Amino acid sequence: MTTPQALAGLKVADFSHVVAGPLATHFLALNGAEVTKIEPPTGDPLRNYTLDPAQRGMAPPFVGINAGKSSVVLDLKTPRGRDQAEAIIAASDVVVENFRPGVMARLGLGAKAMRAKYPHLIWCAVSGFGQTGPMADVAAMDQIVQSLAGVMLLSGQPDDPAMRVGFPLVDTFAGLLAAFAIQTALVQRERGLVRGQEIDVAMLDAALVMMLSVVNPLLIAGEEPVRTGNRGFSRAPTSDTFACLDGAITIGAVEDAHVARALGVLGLSDLLSQPRFADRAQRAAHADALAGRIAAVLATRPAAAWEAAFRAVGVPAARVQTTAEALAMPQLTGRDLVLTLPDGRRILNAGFRFATGGPGTTRPAPALGAGAAQTTTS
């Protein structure tokens, strides 16, 4: 008998659109929740995030984070649409929405009104800047928050122009954070600690939490983030990305033992006898000189050859690959990371595995207004 998924039987009313909110409910659906996606007559805008006319309505970004859900079309500007929406809310355990703060309340479907009538509800609102504060009504999207939070000044070299991370990083992390918050609230409710809950997830807050590796040193010691290009968080010159004869390689030698092994592979062990490279502090102080010596040697052989040589002595190293090359790696075989849906489309799974009852779905993303879907274990 198949072990039930963790959220089997949980009913979720999903009023969200584009990425952050739908990604939160996507993770709930992958773990067994029944997610009803409430869409306007024009559908979730993400349905049309494509330049290929043939994919409009079911664009790949939409398909990838809405599998296993059902779609109900409601016009919330009409009394009938609002009545139908309330009926769905009343029958749900969780409500997720990512309208601008106040929109749901003006429709008579806000958290305060609905939770007063249905106190069991766990209500999660995802927005750019939160439900409170002077910026609560300010419009936001991923790249806007990347700009405000300082994300665009973390990568590259010190004199480079600001550059966004090349995918909706903040949307993605905010969605994951919302899913975590919802499941935390479910545990609270099941333990009798609360009857219901209101969750306020702000993309700006999420971005700063995501950046905790640089934000905490700033809060604790006043250390401003420094742009270091491809050099690692440790700032060690032996933890960087280098061009090879063919392609490029990233090395992660930070601790003294790994540095010694890496330099041994490169035939540069004698450098450790020089005072300027003798310890971590000195290597950091003379980083460019050491990196130059390393780069000259790495340029003589292909990246794959160097990768094998470093790994043979236990030094973290990886050649630079495309995403397509990463997906083709034998390492991913049998890890349930990619799901093949009945319509033949392949999407990513949740990214973690359970021994039994783990995440997954056998149902494709719904066409606009399609009937109820059921999620099942992978």
Percent of the residues in the chain that have a pLDDT greater than 90, as a whole number? 96
**Beta-strand runs (E) in 192-312:** 197-202, 241-243, 248-251
* Residue 371's pLDDT band (cuts 50, 70, 90): low
Per-residue CA distances from 160 to 11, 207, 229, 328, 340 (Å): 47, 21, 9, 33, 41
pLDDT at 9: 96
Q: Output the six-digit token pair for 51.
A: 């330049």
DSSP assignment of 176-207 equals HHHHHHHHHHHHHHHTTS-S-EEEEEEHHHHH
Judged by DSSP in three states, 30 sits in helix
User: How far apart are alpha carbons 128 and 136 in whole angstroms?
Assistant: 8
pLDDT at 377: 39
pTM of the predicted protein model? 0.93
Mean pLDDT of 188-209: 98
Question: Position 173: which residue type?
Answer: F
Tokens 């936001």 label which residue?
140
Q: Taking 80 as the threshold, does the pLDDT of residue 372 lie above it?
A: no
Q: What architecture (CATH level 2) is domain 11-210+333-348?
A: 3-Layer(aba) Sandwich (3.40)
Mean pLDDT of 113-132: 98
Q: Taking 50 as the threshold, does the pLDDT of residue 96 lie above it?
A: yes
Is-contact 92 115, C-beta < 8 A?
A: no
Per-residue pLDDT tens over the stretch 291-326? 999 999 999 999 999 999 999 999 999 999 999 999
Q: Which residues of the chain form CATH 3.40.50.10540?
A: 11-210+333-348
The DSSP 8-state label assigned to residue 365 in this structure reads P
Q: Taking 70 as the threshold, does the pLDDT of residue 106 lie above it?
A: yes
Q: Which residues of the chain form CATH 3.30.1540.10?
A: 248-319
Q: Output the six-digit token pair for 91.
A: 């029958």
Q: Taking 70 as the threshold, does the pLDDT of residue 373 lie above it?
A: no
Is-contact 16 4, C-beta < 8 A?
A: no
Per-residue pLDDT tens over the stretch 8-44? 999 999 999 999 999 999 999 999 999 999 999 999 9
pLDDT at 375: 36
Q: Taking 50 as the threshold, does the pLDDT of residue 335 lie above it?
A: yes
Mean pLDDT of 52-72: 97
Annotated catalytic residues are 171
Per-residue pLDDT tens over the stretch 123-162? 999 999 999 999 999 999 999 999 999 999 999 999 999 9
Q: What architecture (CATH level 2) is domain 248-319?
A: 2-Layer Sandwich (3.30)
Q: Taking 50 as the threshold, does the pLDDT of residue 216 lie above it?
A: yes
